[in-house]
Amino acid sequence: MKVITTIHELQSNIESLKKSVTTIGFVPTMGYLHEGHLTLAKEARDHNEVVVMSIFVNPLQFGPNEDFDRYPRDVERDTALARNAGVDILFIPNTDDVYRGKQSVTMSVKERVDVLCGRKREGHFDGVVTVLTKLFHLVQPTRAYFGQKDAQQVAVVDGLVKDYFFPIKIVRVPTVREEDGLAKSSRNVYLSQQERREAPILYQSLKKARESIMGGEQDPSVIMRNICDMIQEHTSGKIDYVELYSYPELYELNRLEGEIIIAVAVQFKQARLIDNIIISVEPEEKLNV
């Protein structure tokens, strides 16, 4: 595995690779790697000749009161994990190289951002699409791998590649979880022992919602209320949102039909956790056949 830290070196490596290789799989991350990231890398490994992973804690996607400065970092450990996962090129640029001086063109996301995390984290997805546009141009991947854990991010990136004709297939990889169901996240290290015991309730409440939908519940407000009740009753966290939309368009729904997402965000003392499930709901007529 090659570790590359400058844009210049990455460009010359990609240029020479492109002469002999037809598929490049790309896994963008912010590092502090865990099973979730490594699953994306393995997925990329299985379907591409070359796998590129980036580690970049992108300042542009953090709000002024968010955890940019204390975001966990461990490049040495990440390098060993990436190598084991079969990554060919690990790209770890520095901020000054990615954002050279003042940006003369900025990007602003218009759709799929006024809900879920986008509503709470103003400018977050502008930062995400900006850095991804840069990385996509540099890496020129055939496929790029994203986790369903950040389902709104996948929806926004889907809009980016379609609107701007990036010839890249976006692959959504199911959320990787701890044994007790908690979605793996670099931020889980901030949970206190008690919060860690409470945190699996998020996924349990989502699974319960899925069961009630499969049992015939059709009313989004009932489903969301039940999730809120369960989280409030069993955790010390503060609910940031519990929302239900069509996926990936993220439109509000009066009745459940097609692909839907149910997503939650809960603020604990030092960590904000998110989780979601995406369910395919058959139209009622079909169910009755």
Residue with Cβ nearer ligand AMP (93 or 220): 93
Stretch that binds ligand AMP, among 96-104, 116-124, 169-177, 217-225 (CB under 6 A): 169-177
Place of tokens 């970049």: 56
Given 8, 34, 37, 234, the catalytic residue? 37
147 binds ligand AMP (CB under 6 A): yes
B/e letters for 201-228, b = 16+ CB within 10 Å, e = fewer, are bbbbbbeebeebbeeeeeebeebbebbe
Report, in Å, the least distance between residue 258 CB and ligand AMP: 23
DSSP annotation of 268 reads -
Q: What does DSSP say about strands 50-55 and 24-29: parallel, antiparallel, or unpaired?
A: parallel
Place of tokens 């809960």: 266
40 binds ligand AMP (CB under 6 A): yes
Sign of CA dihedral 28, 33, 36, 37: positive
- Kindly report the three-state secondary structure assignment for every residue of 169-200: EEEEECCCECCCCCECCHHHHHCCHHHHHHCC
Residue with Cβ nearer ligand AMP (119 or 184): 184
Residue with Cβ nearer ligand AMP (141 or 147): 147
143 binds ligand AMP (CB under 6 A): no
129 binds ligand AMP (CB under 6 A): no
Report, in Å, the least distance between residue 54 CB and ligand AMP: 9
29 binds ligand AMP (CB under 6 A): yes
Stretch that binds ligand AMP, among 177-185, 237-245, 253-261, 277-285 (CB under 6 A): 177-185
42 binds ligand AMP (CB under 6 A): no
36 binds ligand AMP (CB under 6 A): yes
Q: What does the block give as tokens for 176?
A: 């990787």
Q: How many residues bind ligand AMP (CB under 6 A)?
A: 17
Site map for ligand AMP, 218-257, x if CB under 6 A? Answer: ----------------------------------------
Residue 37 annotated among the catalytic residues of the structure: yes
Residue 265 near residue 116 (C-beta atoms within 8 A) = yes
d(CA 190, CA 37): 18
Report, in Å, the least distance between residue 283 CB and ligand AMP: 30
Residues 59 to 78 in contact with ligand AMP, rule: CB under 6 A: none
Residue 9 near residue 90 (C-beta atoms within 8 A) = no
d(CA 5, CA 56): 10
Report, in Å, the least distance between residue 145 CB and ligand AMP: 7
DSSP annotation of 61 reads G
The phi and psi torsions of 74 (rounded to 5 degrees) equal -160, 80
Report, in Å, the least distance between residue 255 CB and ligand AMP: 29
30 binds ligand AMP (CB under 6 A): yes
- Kindly report the three-state secondary structure assignment for every residue of 31-60: CCCCHHHHHHHHHHHHHCCEEEEEECCCHH
Active site residues: 37
Residues lying near ligand AMP in the complex (CB under 6 A)? 29-30, 36-37, 39-40, 146-147, 149-150, 173, 175-176, 183-186
